[in-house]
């Protein structure tokens, strides 16, 4: 699976939310939950473990002549009240 993201936004999200897009990409290497986040443009949110915390990462599928790829849009660690509902459904990598 190919992925891309804006490097300046990556640094901004790390500073603002404590997790970067590069780190959040780890979510896709394990059990995670996906749901639709937005219709225009079509975006999906994946929720799973990254850096020892449950995080969400929003992405768009982009089409290119070299093949489709995921463009990561934003990420953040989930706050305790929200995280508790997802903990039984996602499992950290062993």
CA distance 12 to 21: 10
Q: Would you state the pLDDT for residue 89?
A: 83
Whether the pLDDT of residue 58 is over 60: the answer is yes
Looking at per-residue pLDDT, the higher value among 67 and 30 belongs to 67
Q: Hey, what CATH topology would domain 3-86 get?
A: Nuclear Transport Factor 2; Chain: A, (3.10.450)
Whether the pLDDT of residue 75 is over 80: the answer is yes
Domain ranges of the chain: 3-86
How does the average pLDDT of the chain come out, rounded? 87
Output the pTM of the full model.
Answer: 0.82
Both tokens of 27, joined, read 């979510």
Q: Would you state the pLDDT for residue 93?
A: 64
Stretch 43-51: mean pLDDT, rounded? 89
């Amino acid at each position: 699976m190919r992925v891309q993201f804006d490097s300046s936004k990556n640094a901004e999200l790390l500073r603002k939310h404590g997790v970067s897009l590069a780190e959040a990409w780890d979510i896709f290497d394990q059990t995670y939950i996906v749901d639709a986040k937005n219709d225009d443009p079509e975006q999906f949110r994946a929720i799973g473990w990254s850096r020892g915390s449950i995080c969400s990462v929003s992405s768009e599928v982009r089409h290119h002549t070299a093949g489709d790829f995921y463009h990561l849009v934003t990420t953040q660690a989930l706050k305790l009240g929200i995280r508790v509902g997802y903990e039984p459904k996602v499992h950290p990598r062993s």
